[in-house]
A and B are shown apart, each in its own frame.
Chain A
Amino acid sequence: MGNTKVIAAVYGPRKVQNWGQQINDQALVRCEYRMANFSTGDRVRRPKGDRRTTEISLVIRQTMEACIMTQQMPRTQIDIYVQVLQADGGTRSACINAATLALAAAGIPMRDLVTSCSAGYLNGTPLLDLNYVEDSAGGPDVTLGILPTLDRVTLLQADSKLTMDAFESVMHLATEGCMAVADYIRRLLREHTKQLELRRGV
């Protein structure tokens, strides 16, 4: 997404590694979010498992868990790894979109694709998908994740103060953003499947 570059990998459904974590009636979903040392403007060495990383891992895991049909794969584990290579605002959304694509490409049953987009509010105008400079101005930043065909919201994260009217317009904009992402993702997946089909020679 723009200057933000993310890569996602999905493993599973496979045997649960840590036996104690096994859930008998559904799949265990795990997610690991990492940022490359060179991804931001200033190089910061983040120890593994700092607060921001843990929080975003949790956000992604819960968002994806909501759409994966975990009941269909009891006693298994699905691992999602997302790595940020270049960060320029909206890493959360980019990670969720990448994870959706990876899950779909892995053929894991999902209720719907989750798509995500962020939006903010700066100088009285709602802005879609803030980059780093716009984000560091300190305005509100709303990250929204939706299931486009079911028309449900799975993720809504907002910080800082925002009037109700402004929130509504920001929310509306973010929803439009998500829909645009959904269209794009669907097109990508269709092309991918077509290529697979060609390679199989069916």
Chain B
Amino acid sequence: MGSTDGIQADIASEIEVDAFRRLFPLRFYERHLSESVRPDARPLNKARDTSVALGAISSADGSALVKIGHTTMLAAIKVEVMTPSLDSPDEGCIVGFDVFSSGMINLKELSLISGKAAWMLYLDVYCLDADGALFDAALLAAVAALSHLRIPVVSVNDDGRVVAMSGEHVEGKSVREPINREKRKLTFSCIPFSLTCILHQKYILADPTAEEELIMETLVTVVLDLSGRLVSLYKLGGNLAYNSTVQDCVALTRRRVKELHQILNEAVSDMEVD
């Protein structure tokens, strides 16, 4: 009897904690923060487990599924041939994400025939499960999809149109000159990674969950590239932040960039082994 009583008491206290969490979310969190721990047992400055899976969608030219905790993002890229604009005859373009205007990819690499044809990359990012830090997950998914992307082999046919070439045709019809000799990867000049932090009183919480984002409103997102240069920084609304706190966020991001880079590299090398 004693043991069942114990279990029942446990359940009762669990229900009480749950009720307290619902009714006074801020106090519930502040109580945790004063102990330097979060309800999901993470220290304040630690991000959630992150995983990257490349090539989740076979109908796209490049794709990646990214999970940060429960947040799940799926990014996929389709390539198409377009006529480049007159201002930049030997540049392709990317549609979808504005961070890439930061010169991460040399757009000249996307050129096929100067002034006639260039690649257009359509990048779509879908959020499958939203549990906070959506921007971080979306950016990581986009970057991973780009590093999974292989530009297909194409040639120009007699009508002057660009057609896809499969492996066998390259030898059989040598009349058609392939413009793109082999399936190639893009080269990145810099890779952006980001970290979102919540500022609450004197605490900085890295990689917030949806619940945390809802309760505490001051959010700072820092985007850095591999060499530690600042690519962009968002802080929309919320309370005023000190310069030093923002500096701390940047320092946290710097550490996170290394982590993310390693995760991405592992995913890419895993794929190449397969």
A interface vs B, CB < 8 Å?
3, 5, 7, 36-41, 43, 83, 85-88
Cross-chain contact B122 with A43 (CB below 8 angstroms): yes
Main SS at interface, chain A: loop
Question: Separation in Å of the A81 CB from the closest CB of chain B?
Answer: 11
Question: Which of B25-33, B52-60, B188-196, B215-223 contacts its partner?
Answer: B52-60
Known: A36-B57, A83-B126, A88-B59. 13 other contacts (CB 8 A): A3-B58, A37-B78, A37-B122, A37-B124, A38-B57, A38-B59, A41-B59, A43-B78, A43-B80, A83-B128, A85-B126, A86-B58, A86-B59
For the complex, count residues of B whose C-beta is within 8 A of A: 15
Interface flag for B76 (CB, 8 Å): yes
Question: Separation in Å of the A11 CB from the closest CB of chain B?
Answer: 13
The CA of A115 and the CA of B111, in the complex, are separated in Å by: 48
Cross-chain contact B128 with A7 (CB below 8 angstroms): yes
The CA of A41 and the CA of B80, in the complex, are separated in Å by: 11
The CA of A37 and the CA of B78, in the complex, are separated in Å by: 9
Residues of A within 8 A of B57 (CB): 5, 36, 38-39, 85-86
CB within 8 Å for A38 and B128 given contacts A86-B57, A86-B58, A87-B59: no
Question: Separation in Å of the A76 CB from the closest CB of chain B?
Answer: 21
8 Å CB contacts to A: which residues of B71-91? 74, 76-78, 80
Closest to A34 in B: B126
Residues of A within 8 A of B76 (CB): 36, 38
Residues of B within 8 A of A7 (CB): 128
The CA of A3 and the CA of B59, in the complex, are separated in Å by: 9
8 Å CB contacts to A: which residues of B118-177? 122, 124, 126, 128
Closest to B126 in A: A36
The CA of A83 and the CA of B74, in the complex, are separated in Å by: 12
Cross-chain contact A38 with B80 (CB below 8 angstroms): no
Closest to B63 in A: A38
Residues of A within 8 A of B77 (CB): 38
Residues of A within 8 A of B124 (CB): 36-38
Residues of B within 8 A of A41 (CB): 59
Cross-chain contact B59 with A40 (CB below 8 angstroms): yes
Cross-chain contact B60 with A38 (CB below 8 angstroms): yes
The CA of A3 and the CA of B80, in the complex, are separated in Å by: 22
Residues of A within 8 A of B78 (CB): 37-38, 43
Instruction: Mark B30-63 against chain A: 1 for CB-CB distance below 8 A, else 0.
Output: 0000000000000000000000000011111001
Enumerate 13 A-B pairs (CB-CB under 8 Å) in ascending A order.
A7-B128, A36-B57, A36-B76, A37-B122, A37-B124, A38-B60, A38-B76, A38-B78, A39-B59, A41-B59, A43-B78, A86-B59, A87-B59
Residues of B within 8 A of A43 (CB): 78, 80, 122
